[in-house]
Amino acid sequence: MEKTSGGYTDLELDLKTGKRGGRQSHFRQLICDLTGAESGLAVNNNASALLLGIAAVAAGKEVVVSRSEAVEIGGGFRIPDVLEQSGARLIEVGTTNRTYVSDYATNITDQTGAILIVHSSNFQVTGFTHTPRIEEIVEVGKLAGIPILHDLGSGCLIDTTKFGLSAEPIPQDSINAGVSLSFFSGDKLLGGPQAGIVIGNSKLIDLLSKHPLARAMRLDKLSSAALGATLLHYIKGEAIQTIPVWRMIAESIESLQSRAVKWKKAINYPCSIVEGYSTVGGGSLPGQTLPTANLRIESTTGAEQTLHDLRHGATPVIGRIENDQVLLDPRTVLPEEEDTLIRTVNKALQACM
Ligand SMILES: *Cc1c(COP(=O)(O)O)cnc(C)c1O
């Protein structure tokens, strides 16, 4: 990103031929190698990727969505509204808690343009529920000759169950299951820049690339550089050691405890170490936590005042309040940030002593 912003780039130049090249070429091969997809495309974010995908594939047609998946993700991103904006008509099938593969099959007409599967990233439905396997829905689509679009949300390329978390759907599985296009974010669990990535059938990817909206949503050169660099960490098999979100998820409780002890010693203010939980996922993995060792600041001025003081240092420090005391979670601070953290906390709390 630094090189790209400070000088010339080959953003749209093919260095082999000297002719005009495509900006997608900087990451298309990487994302295909990582996911097994035929082709891929990156745009501004996943919301625009989905809008583009539905507009290119199903404008003027019906899109079949399970009632349990016509959801709102984050601030104002509502699946029914996105469908409407892309010119498609939403056909909700099944019920809030149970949708069967037959619900999809019986709602396909000559007006159907696509079946859309949406991962309910930020909430859980528990109890008396049913969702068909992706493969079953793909089968329905294949029989009817209708593309299956799969909005995965987080772009998680690594198996989250290895870290004691629930399974987050991964793009590789979506492609293996035979969906036509999968959509996911470049931030969230991919851990890269804001971006939206679409992978899958190369004819459909071409259709998306040529759609007028594609230009309006295209990724700029800095995000392109960041996305390429992020994907390279996965290609090299070093993502867990290099990408911040995975470094944080992967850190062991022993390591967190020893860092909390180190912080307690270095901070000149009454503190204690308490067991606790880190919330993870950045808009995915609802309700999922990992055990941690928190540093609790035994504030004499009140927790709100302490949080305020920490936020107003040269480097703002953001803690959280639990049981009327401020907690700092070592899982959320990378080791190379520790010196700055300790210096800032000492300075901010000095005034309270
Ligand atoms: C987060 C999310 C989006 C939006 O992605 P952005 O990259 O934030 O635009 C869309 N769909 C699902 C299922 C999501 O979880």
87, amino acid identity: G
Position 115 scores a pLDDT of 98
Cβ-contact 165, 151 below 8 angstroms: no
Helix (H, G, I), strand (E, B) or coil at 347: helix
Cα of 322 vs centre of ligand 1, distance in Å, is: 29
Position 122 scores a pLDDT of 81
Q: Check residue 352 and give its pLDDT.
A: 62
Strands 39-43 and 62-66: unpaired
C-alpha of residue 150 to centroid of ligand 1, in Å: 12
pLDDT tens for residues 36-60?
999 999 999 999 999 999 999 999 9
Measure the CA–CA gap between 27 and 153, rounded to whole angstroms: 19
Unique residue bearing structure tokens 């994302």: 31
pTM of the prediction?
0.95
What's the CA-to-centroid distance between 188 and ligand 1, angstroms? 9
Q: Which residue CA neighbors atom 7 of ligand 1 most closely?
A: 46
Identify whether the C-beta of residue 123 lies closer than 8 Å to the C-beta of residue 287.
no
CA of 187, closest atom in ligand 1: 7
- pLDDT attached to residue 194: 96
Q: Is the distance from CB of 24 to CB of 42 less than 8 angstroms?
A: yes
Distance 206 CA to ligand 1 centre (A): 22
CA of 187 to the centre of ligand 1 (A): 9
State which residues of the chain have pLDDT below 50.
none
The pLDDT, as a whole number, for residue 286 is 82
50 Cα nearest atom in ligand 1: 10
Distance 107 CA to ligand 1 centre (A): 26
Q: Residues with Cβ within 6 A of ligand 1? A: 45-47, 73-74, 77, 118-119, 121, 151, 153, 185, 196, 283
Q: Look up residue 58 and give its two tokens.
A: 């199903």
Work out whether the CA dihedral 246, 74, 278, 287 comes out positive or negative: negative
Q: What is the pLDDT of residue 353?
A: 60
Distance CA 22, CA 218 (A): 12
Residue closest via CA to ligand 1's atom 12 equals 153
Kindly report, residue by residue over 224-263, the tens digit of the pLDDT: 999 999 999 999 999 999 999 999 999 999 999 999 999 9
